[in-house]
């Protein structure tokens, strides 16, 4: 099972290896999709893979250390109503999570998406978005 999280680190722990400790403690696999961390604050979008009970322990462990932990349903989303179906996003998606159906409409497969975000800046109508960090 894969669960997406937005993790926000306060100043007091931003320089500590809390994510590494949480991984060792709960035995989950984590893939950091986007991060912005400096000496005053940290924000991260990550997918966490493992059994649901381990993922819950991971989130609880980090929350206990002062990390704001928010589960997010979709890390990248396509607003189909705003999409002009131009296909600009098709060629940049490294895992082919975005395709075009036989009617020429853009189709987004959330299960294939690895949340790399390379599709976001190429969309001319800004129909593709992700949670800010």
76-133 CATH fold: Alpha-Beta Plaits (3.30.70)
Q: What are the DSSP calls for 12-51, one per residue?
A: GGTTS-HHHHHHHHH--EEEEEEEEE-SS-EEEEEEEES-
Residue-range domain boundaries for the chain = 2-72, 76-133
pLDDT of residue 130 exceeding 90: no
Residues 30-44 have pLDDT tens digits of: 999 888 999 999 999
pTM of the model: 0.66
19 — phi, psi (to 5°)? Answer: -70, -45
Classify 2-72 by CATH class: alpha beta
Supply the DSSP symbol for 111: T
The reported pLDDT for the residue numbered 11 is 94
């Amino acid at each position: 099972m894969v669960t997406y999280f937005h993790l926000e680190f306060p100043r007091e722990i931003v320089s500590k290896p809390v994510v590494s400790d949480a991984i060792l403690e709960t035995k989950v696999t984590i893939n950091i999709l986007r991060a912005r961390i400096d000496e005053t604050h940290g924000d991260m979008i990550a997918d966490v893979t493992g059994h649901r009970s381990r993922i819950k322990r991971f989130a609880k462990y980090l929350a206990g250390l002062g990390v704001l932990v928010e589960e997010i349903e979709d890390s990248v989303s396509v607003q189909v109503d705003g999409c002009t179906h131009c296909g600009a996003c098709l060629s940049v998606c490294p895992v082919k999570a975005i395709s075009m159906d036989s009617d020429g409409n853009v189709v987004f497969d959330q299960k294939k998406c690895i949340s790399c975000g390379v599709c976001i800046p190429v969309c001319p109508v800004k129909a593709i978005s992700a949670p800010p960090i």
